[in-house]
Amino acid sequence: MTTRRLAMIAAAVEVTAGLALIASPTLFVQLLLRANLTDEGIAVGRVGGFGLLSPGLACWPGSDILTRQSVSALFTNNILAALFIGYLGISRGFVGFLLWPACVLHALLTVLLAYPAYDAVRRERPGIQFPTIG
């Protein structure tokens, strides 16, 4: 899979989650965590949706060259999301219908984005010595 296609998939996941949070934070949180939101939680959920939508659109591969920053941002977002969603499921006991599929999806995207993110940094900073694989 090419880095461009992978970035488009990762960006689509963020855009979809952002739109879902903006449209119905209560439903999104119920499916993900099986938890209820207060009025304040709904407001914060919508702002979180804006926060997912914006970088998802910014990282969407278009006619421009896919940058190191966009690949690194998608990688960072996915590794943090996978770790935090997994933590919520294991330590906090949240068990929404979409919790583990979301965790697995973010973990898979993290693994797939790891080499392109590493390679982008290596190419930009050739003086830095990273261990080679293989």
Tokens of 113: 């984005």
pLDDT at 128: 57
pLDDT at 130: 54
* Rounded CA separation 18/88 (Å): 19
Question: Would you say residue 63 has pLDDT above 50?
Answer: no
pLDDT 10s digits, 69-125 = 888 888 999 999 999 999 999 998 888 999 999 999 999 999 999 988 787 667 766
Contact of 86 with 100, CB cutoff 8 Å:
no
| Count, residues in the chain | 134
Four-residue CA torsion sign, 22, 83, 128, 62: negative
Find the mean pLDDT for residues 22-28. 96
Cα distances (angstroms) measured from residue 66 to each of 11, 100, 109: 12, 30, 17
pLDDT at 64: 60
